[in-house]
A and B are shown apart, each in its own frame.
Chain A
Amino acid sequence: MPPLDDVVALSRLQFAATALYHFLFVPLTLGLAWILVIMESVYVMTGRQIYKDMTQFWGKLFGINFAMGVTTGITMEFQFGTNWAYYSHYVGDIFGAPLAIEGLMAFFLESTMVGLFFLGWNRLSKGKHLLVTFCVALGSSLSALWILIANGWMNHPVGAEFNFDTMRMELVSIADVIFNPVAQVKFVHTAAAGYVTASMFVMGISALYLLKARDVQFALRSFAIAAAFGLASTLSVIVLGDESGYTAGEVNKVKLAAIEAAWDTEAAPAGLTLFGFPDDERQVTDYAVRIPYVLGLIATRSTDGQVTGIKELKRENEARIRKGMQAYAALLRLKGGDKSPPARAAFDALKGDLGYGLLLKKYTPNVTDATEAQIKQAANDTIPKVAPLFWSFRGMVFLGFLFLFIFGASMYYLLRRKLAPQRWLLKLCVLAIPLPWVSIELGWIVAEYGRQPWTIAGVLPTHLSVSSLSAGSLWFSLAGFLGFYTLLLIVEMGLMIKYAKLGPASLHTGRYHGETALPHADDHAAAA
């Protein structure tokens, strides 16, 4: 719980809460759209009515989620200008393009195509409708891509330079921003996690029908598509998660060291702490269970690359803070009117560390007069708390491997045509429906909490990014968001449960459970 009057903590809480809520809706949209593409493609290729019914039924659940989720992300853009004025100013030149393109993708491509998806069934040919469904999936993925390019830049700010005249970061290379390795890895990892979420959602609901022996052919086909897509996606998430670890090892060493509770720099290749209890005060991990060499191999892709420990990183950051003090002094000189070539050269040589100097603003307004104790405090701040990152990361990874087991076992029994008797597996699929969301939220906590104390890594400290607001107004808007989003979530859950219970009968085709007294009606649907 943040202090009641801490504007920085309240602004962070508000942004985190809206982002986490928003991301309850996003992954299902991302993944379900591609599952619809697969189902409809089979319908177009085979002409079998059951695949059209599957596309329409799961499309209905997609529509509920889309309607509830659309515009929940716009509240974060509200906050940029109001709660994060200095951050907004700093990044405006870089963020403007990706956010505008995301808006175009979301509203013009995605929303238009979603409308055509629902209204076009009797107006478009099979092929054209499939193209529309494909555009829905493509639009949602591209929309996510631009947001994650912006987010990737916050973690690894490339392709931009600080301009002391405008006092902001300015775009130097849009290609560097777009092809930022952190953004690329983040996008594919996040998108694949969305595919896992949707696969588990379809599989879990289908498993429920199988457990109740209703709409069996419909459920089996839905289950099979979701299991295959989910297995491929889970493998992608794991492989890309590993790639993400490698990228973090290269560009975000503090985050990696904190996630792994790597207090000391070990001889290469470093061991991985599988389990333990990190203690930030004592800088040790109690009861650590370690696997030799693994961390070094994952993080450096070599047997001789070192993973720098937290204590050494703190020392390195302390040195950068001292250089940052000099950068701050050089900037003051420039702003004081001395724009001579030597003054510019002095600032240019040091400006990469200006952000580290700004960390001292928390302790002294003048920065250049910081005491040794204040420099040590600022160096301590460069390391986020280890325990929340350590546990969030392990929770996410554990769930990832649980999903691999569920999808793998499901495929195994599907291929052996022995799925229906495996009631334990079907029950596990139903229970696992909410778990991908838990895993994704943990992933976001790792990504964003692990970036602290920065809003833009190494450039702008969080405490200097916020606006001059009153705590009261932040509490008011926070309460408004939480109340509103909770209500939306309740409506979404209510509609989802209602239509999942109805199943394909909600299509009113007369072929499914509860619609007709004809025996084997489901089999007729399958044969159609």
Chain B
Amino acid sequence: MDTTAPLQAPRRERLARILLVTVAIKCLVLYGLWSTCFSHPQTRHMLLPAAEVERHLFAAPAAPDSSNKK
């Protein structure tokens, strides 16, 4: 059993505080990202007007996509 100099063990409350602060900051950053980039989605409640889908499927020009070129 190693009985060398004691490590400085932070108190339990300190970890809880770190985690709470991190979660709070995380929620703020996520809110910031959402309000900047995702707060005006093209589709709300996973539903688009059928006419818009029809335009996309029937009239839209071919979309460029190089992601799956063989």
Within 8 A of B (CB), among A240-282: 280
A363 and B57 alpha carbons, distance in the complex (Å)? 13
Q: Which of A5-13, A222-230, A402-410, A422-430 contacts B (4 or more CB under 8 A)?
A: A5-13
**0 or 1 for each of A496-528: is its CB under 8 Å from B? (1 = yes):** 001101100111100001111111111100000
Instruction: Tell me, yes or no, whether A89 is within 8 Å of chain B by CB.
Output: yes
Instruction: Tell me, yes or no, whether A289 is within 8 Å of chain B by CB.
Output: no
**Highest count of chain B CB atoms <10 Å: which of A7, A361, A488, A505:** A361
A519 and B44 alpha carbons, distance in the complex (Å)? 65
- Known contacts A6-B65, A335-B58; is-contact A89 B9 (Cβ 8 Å): no
A516 and B4 alpha carbons, distance in the complex (Å)? 9
* A9 nearest in chain B by CB position: B67
- Within 8 Å by CB of A364, from B6, B44, B62, lies B62
- Known contacts A81-B43, A467-B42; is-contact A89 B30 (Cβ 8 Å): no
A380 and B68 alpha carbons, distance in the complex (Å)? 10
List of B residues within 8 angstroms of A82 by Cβ: 37-38, 40-42
- Known contacts A384-B68, A522-B1; is-contact A361 B62 (Cβ 8 Å): yes
List of A residues within 8 angstroms of B45 by Cβ: 92
List of B residues within 8 angstroms of A463 by Cβ: 63, 65, 67
* A452 nearest in chain B by CB position: B68
Q: Are A363 and B41 in contact (CB under 8 A)?
A: no
Q: Would you give the shortest CB distance from A498 to chain B, in whole angstroms?
A: 8
Q: Would you give the shortest CB distance from A212 to chain B, in whole angstroms?
A: 7
Q: Are B41 and A81 in contact (CB under 8 A)?
A: yes
Q: Are B54 and A167 in contact (CB under 8 A)?
A: yes
Q: Are B67 and A6 in contact (CB under 8 A)?
A: yes
**Highest count of chain A CB atoms <10 Å: which of B4, B19, B54:** B19
List of A residues within 8 angstroms of B70 by Cβ: 280, 380-381, 383, 385
* B12 nearest in chain A by CB position: A508
* A67 nearest in chain B by CB position: B19
Interface size in chain B (residues, C-beta < 8 A): 52
**0 or 1 for each of A447-480: is its CB under 8 Å from B? (1 = yes):** 0000011000000001110111100010011001
Interface size in chain A (residues, C-beta < 8 A): 90
Q: Are A79 and B38 in contact (CB under 8 A)?
A: yes
Main secondary structure of the interface of A (DSSP, over half): helix
Instruction: Tell me, yes or no, whether A70 is within 8 Å of chain B by CB.
Output: yes
A96 and B19 alpha carbons, distance in the complex (Å)? 31
Q: Are A453 and B68 in contact (CB under 8 A)?
A: yes
* B63 nearest in chain A by CB position: A463
Q: Are B42 and A213 in contact (CB under 8 A)?
A: no
List of B residues within 8 angstroms of A165 by Cβ: 50
- Within 8 Å by CB of A502, from B7, B33, B54, B60, lies B7
Q: Are B9 and A71 in contact (CB under 8 A)?
A: no
Within 8 A of B (CB), among A46-93: 60, 63-64, 67-68, 70-71, 74-75, 78-82, 85-86, 88-89, 91-93
- Known contacts A67-B19, A81-B42, A488-B26; is-contact A6 B66 (Cβ 8 Å): yes
A484 and B27 alpha carbons, distance in the complex (Å)? 11
- Within 8 Å by CB of B64, from A6, A93, A168, lies A6
A63 and B42 alpha carbons, distance in the complex (Å)? 36
A464 and B66 alpha carbons, distance in the complex (Å)? 13
A384 and B70 alpha carbons, distance in the complex (Å)? 8
Q: Are A12 and B67 in contact (CB under 8 A)?
A: yes
Instruction: Tell me, yes or no, whether A43 is within 8 Å of chain B by CB.
Output: no
List of A residues within 8 angstroms of B27 by Cβ: 71
List of B residues within 8 angstroms of A86 by Cβ: 43, 48, 53, 56
A74 and B54 alpha carbons, distance in the complex (Å)? 29
Q: Would you give the shortest CB distance from B44 to chain A, in whole angstroms?
A: 7
Q: Are B42 and A464 in contact (CB under 8 A)?
A: no
A92 and B10 alpha carbons, distance in the complex (Å)? 47
List of B residues within 8 angstroms of A462 by Cβ: 65, 67-68
A498 and B10 alpha carbons, distance in the complex (Å)? 10
Q: Are B33 and A477 in contact (CB under 8 A)?
A: yes
Instruction: Tell me, yes or no, whether A495 is within 8 Å of chain B by CB.
Output: yes
* A503 nearest in chain B by CB position: B7
List of B residues within 8 angstroms of A3 by Cβ: 66
List of A residues within 8 angstroms of B29 by Cβ: 484
List of A residues within 8 angstroms of B7 by Cβ: 501-502, 505, 513-514
Instruction: Tell me, yes or no, whether A311 is within 8 Å of chain B by CB.
Output: no
- Known contacts A364-B62, A384-B68; is-contact A166 B50 (Cβ 8 Å): yes
Instruction: Tell me, yes or no, whether A491 is within 8 Å of chain B by CB.
Output: yes
Instruction: Tell me, yes or no, whether A362 is within 8 Å of chain B by CB.
Output: yes
Q: Are A9 and B66 in contact (CB under 8 A)?
A: yes
List of B residues within 8 angstroms of A513 by Cβ: 1-2, 7
Q: Are A515 and B6 in contact (CB under 8 A)?
A: yes
Instruction: Tell me, yes or no, whether A365 is within 8 Å of chain B by CB.
Output: yes
Q: Would you give the shortest CB distance from B38 to chain A, in whole angstroms?
A: 4
Q: List 12 A-B contacts (CB under 8 A).
A: A70-B23, A71-B26, A75-B33, A80-B46, A85-B42, A95-B46, A364-B62, A385-B68, A467-B43, A477-B38, A491-B22, A515-B6
Kindly list 13 other residue pairs between chains A and B, CB separation below 8 angstroms, not including A93-B46, A484-B33: A8-B65, A71-B26, A79-B38, A81-B38, A81-B46, A167-B57, A381-B68, A462-B68, A468-B42, A469-B42, A502-B9, A519-B1, A523-B1
Interface residues of B (CB under 8 A from A): 1-7, 9-12, 15-16, 18-19, 22-23, 26-27, 29-30, 33-34, 36-38, 40-48, 50, 53-54, 56-68, 70
Shortest 7 CB-CB distances between A and B: which pairs? A92-B46, A81-B41, A85-B42, A477-B37, A78-B38, A167-B53, A514-B7
